Structure 1
């Protein structure tokens, strides 16, 4: 069996950052295991490829939830990245950190060292901000953060309509204030996707102390006498095992990390017994506390043809936009689909935004999988609830890693979530009915013109609400009975095992989760390296 100092499970946003930071000094041997393939598919790197990536079975886990009682018994599509870079290789590339209070709240829950002032230096250190250095942004990091170079004219109409409807303009959602409407910044470089793999892994594959093994299905973490000593996995049809001298680090994401923990005997006692898994450490919180941003699309038909549609004028527009990409690396092929949007309050008396908007220059439905709507000229406006109170679970369908876990999103289970989303739909309708957007408006496709009362909108929400791909919280950091890891991200009751990914978030941050996940990994790497440097110093003292 091969031996490494650190074994990282999952080469997603967190795993790529960890692999970089832990191997950088050359003092530690690091092995990174990834279930998917290398990130060589052209769809990954061309931003508009996101449309096809949502349906790509080899690069996307394509999870589906169990039937959701709160959403008319629909199964909710839950795509997650399955390649180097993980979900940062298939996502919409929006660079969003969340609000200061998100992290201060983590700190208030007893998670020392996770306040906004504690995490801001990590955000800055990871980032190369093309706009330049300031109090909130860095320029020496590996992750390129840029302004979008795809800005169809209809996007500006949306921004002006939202401002006319009473919402402030904001040129930097990651600056002093998140509130307002404007353009998102994106993780792109020269018009191409700049994933966690591109930023932190690919440039470092030459390191002799870094081993990356793709197409590897981890079956379990090997735990002996309460100590994580290695990983058992299947590669090219053979079951193999590697040893971790220092630590096993689980970075498989909010869906896969709790699954692997449970298959390793760490989790709720009753759940493990149900699937005949030997109990190693009872932790009731594994798989609980699932949170995601519930989201709904408001779709309208418009008399405008510079949008994404399967219509002659739009197709010709797309051809001209393609030439822009070939000559200047700008235009439609660089689109992240939702360049414009913002953060607003459902009630002006609130202290901070509780809704996020994503504007799409196309008619969309069912994650873009309903192609019939693309034969219509139109636009769509996402409304997303930033801090849901509903909680779901990730449990097991069997004791086999090959079978997807059982996901129960449980969105709109809390009345406050319903009330806020009803307000959000009304706000979206108001913006879509405000000039200049109103000048080209033909009709609302959904919700329809007859959807007017709160109860009508609630029924619409049950029919159309979905996830916007930000699951977190299933191995949460904290001090209560449902916490899985402590503030050092160490799994409770097991030595030499940490979870480092979005699953450790005790509560969902107010925005897209990719940048915060990379921040978590960078901070964790510092903690890990400091701890093992101290251990080595103690050994040196004893020797002398």
Structure 2
């Protein structure tokens, strides 16, 4: 097995991961997941209705203040601008689908609207995994890709980097981001758009370590080829922002060495990773990978919310035969698989969507299914279990003047199970900022999500007041953040209702394992050292803030629903617990060996797989989107080779 040469990659990094037989001894089984899965079903229509007019007003007040570059203005309703149809002729609205009872005719190419339609593969969730998977399988077979959200193409909240925080703050029904709050009290988000988490994340692209690839049982050469397939289409080297340069220098000063330059590889030390933002601030998402499909074989429906999987239970094992989905006008449709042993339904709905859909379809813990009056198709106590979210804690650093906006570009990969990253600035004008805060505070807002039990007008009003009181100095500056590898703390996902539109109940149990807490404290101490390095002196105020004051400001800057303690800024353990937020790398719920086998087939069921971050025990790389997209391509190629032999001619 050869090492890959530099010229093998378009836009390639300076160093290329070797996942073949000869592996260099790089990192731990790295870990990170979330905004990169394809959370691709499950809207929440009751969401802003239950919040009432107050929340609508709150969002209107915040968003209304924004004055945006006229070229890339932000507007909310961005439905079906048809200019993308030339490049994506296979994308249609779910309401155009005509369902009919399945015929025994073989898979064919006739138009969706003329039904009856049968497909070789039905993929639920057009996200980071679902898009490359659909594109790959369509090379030889008829594929239906169902996405609950809209297209990303005409939505500047998605396409422009400076609108990153607005997209996360948008709680409207048409938003590309859907908020949820875990029972831990941490405000979180999942994608509701074609392209999944790649449409709403911070854009950082960096591979899983060779150790991770090996432990996942993936073929090193094919993993490498699959990473490159993604990279040459949507990834590039970033232009380093001043805040990211300061972090690079600070990390090296405190011994997070060597400097590994620009690289997609997961290597100990400090490096600059890839990005899916281009030099103009334009975002390139997993949806663009769909152009590498066989257009005549691919059918993509947007606004298609899958309700459940259909099974034939007459045989020895249940067999998936299709799905039920609801379109944008509330009409239910059934889509069926072609009748042969190879046809499959594949869930790529992400770590929230995929376990939820299995439960709604009758696959999961018997007791829980019976409580919800869901007929049991297959008992499996592990569905929805082993949910993890990498806790993120950040330190806020005020600056003399506003700093250039930057999302994540530089990362320090330590040997102590902690990653150090940074964000800075604000993509919009200063008069809008008091409305946006949350993860990394002002500039990236997990705005206005009130947990269900607290949805009273008084609570919403109090929340508005609390936001208004955030010190104005918090809006000039940046954050250095740490995320722990792993983590060892685990939680679970359960159904709240039997409605596929509703968020399930999710618990991550942040810092319930003492080792996670120990690593967080190490990370905060490391950030303090980085902050004191000369590289931040030019950016920060002349006065040297005491760590006490910085911790106090950071407590205010990190918004969650966890009650604060008087010693939040005195005890680093308490600081970690009280200020924990998310970097959206949650994973689990359909673990390999528990829910799916090593080929990602749901155990005990024929014709059903799960391909996304719900299968991960740990999150890959420092940030998972690279590996989730790679995985979609990788599994697609594996499935084609399985079915057609190794000479499948996959490009």
TM-score range, shorter chain: 0.7 to 0.9
**Pair 1:374–1:103, CA change in 2 (3 A):** farther
Does 253-262 or 206-215 show the bigger shift?
Answer: 206-215
TM-score normalised to the size of structure 2?
Answer: 0.67
Q: Among 389, 400, 409, which residue is 1:292 paired with? A: 389
The 5-angstrom pairing of residues 165-244 of structure 1 reads 165-168=254-257, 169-175=259-265, 178-189=267-278, 191=280, 192-198=282-288, 200-202=289-291, 204=293, 207-225=295-313, 226-235=318-327, 236-244=329-337
Q: Which residue of 2 aligns with 1:463?
A: 578
**Pair 1:32–1:374, CA change in 2 (3 A):** farther
Asked if structure 2 preserves the Cα contact closer than 8 Å seen for 1:233 and 1:241, the reply is yes
**CA RMSD, Structure 1 to Structure 2 (Å):** 2.6
Quote how far apart the aligned CAs of 1:118 are: 5.6
Q: Which residue of 2 aligns with 1:506?
A: 617
Give the ranges of 4+ consecutive aligned residues of structure 1 lying more than 6 Å apart after TM superposition: 449-455
Quote how far apart the aligned CAs of 1:395 are: 1.1
Q: Among 151, 160, 178, which residue is 1:38 paired with? A: 151
After superposition, the C-alpha distances for 1:139-177 in whole angstroms (9 at most, x for unaligned) are xxxx3321113x3333322221221122212214433x5
Asked if structure 2 preserves the Cα contact closer than 8 Å seen for 1:65 and 1:409, the reply is no
After superposition, the C-alpha distances for 1:341-365 in whole angstroms (9 at most, x for unaligned) are 321233xxxxxxx211121224995
Is the aligned partner of 1:18 residue 2:18? no
User: Aligned partners of 2:134 and 2:322: how far apart in 1?
Assistant: 17
Is the aligned partner of 1:121 residue 2:225? yes
**Pair 1:453–1:495, CA change in 2 (3 A):** closer
Quote how far apart the aligned CAs of 1:38 are: 1.2
Q: Among 493, 507, 521, which residue is 2:604 paired with? A: 493
Q: Describe the SS at the equivalent of 2:123.
A: strand
Q: Describe the SS at the equivalent of 1:436.
A: helix
Quote how far apart the aligned CAs of 1:276 are: 0.8
Does 425-434 or 437-446 show the bigger shift?
Answer: 437-446
Is the aligned partner of 1:62 residue 2:125? no
Q: Which residue of 1 aligns with 2:198?
A: 88
**Pair 1:46–1:374, CA change in 2 (3 A):** farther
Q: Which residue of 2 aligns with 1:307?
A: 403
Q: Describe the SS at the equivalent of 2:137.
A: helix
After superposition, the C-alpha distances for 1:315-367 in whole angstroms (9 at most, x for unaligned) are xxxxxxxxxxxxxxxxx5xx4x2223321233xxxxxxx21112122499522
Asked if structure 2 preserves the Cα contact closer than 8 Å seen for 1:265 and 1:281, the reply is yes
The 5-angstrom pairing of residues 152-163 of structure 1 reads 152-163=241-252
Quote how far apart the aligned CAs of 1:459 are: 0.9
Q: Among 162, 166, 170, which residue is 1:52 paired with? A: 166
User: Aligned partners of 1:38 and 1:485: how far apart in 2?
Assistant: 30
Asked if structure 2 preserves the Cα contact closer than 8 Å seen for 1:488 and 1:527, the reply is no
Q: Which residue of 2 aligns with 1:134?
A: none
Is the aligned partner of 1:79 residue 2:171? no
**Pair 1:90–1:454, CA change in 2 (3 A):** closer
User: Aligned partners of 2:621 and 2:231: how far apart in 1?
Assistant: 19
Q: Among 526, 529, 533, which residue is 1:434 paired with? A: 533
Q: Which residue of 2 aligns with 1:404?
A: 503
Structure 2 runs not aligned, ≥5 long: 1-99, 101-116, 427-435, 446-466, 556-566
Identify the structure with the greater strand proportion: 1
- The aligned length equals 466
Q: Describe the SS at the equivalent of 1:193.
A: coil
Q: Which residue of 1 aligns with 2:410?
A: 340
TM-score normalised to the size of structure 1?
Answer: 0.80
Structure 1 runs not aligned, ≥5 long: 69-74, 108-113, 129-142, 309-331, 347-353, 538-544
Asked if structure 1 preserves the Cα contact closer than 8 Å seen for 2:273 and 2:410, the reply is yes
Is the aligned partner of 1:517 residue 2:628? yes
User: Aligned partners of 1:453 and 1:215: how far apart in 2?
Assistant: 44
User: Aligned partners of 1:461 and 1:178: how far apart in 2?
Assistant: 26
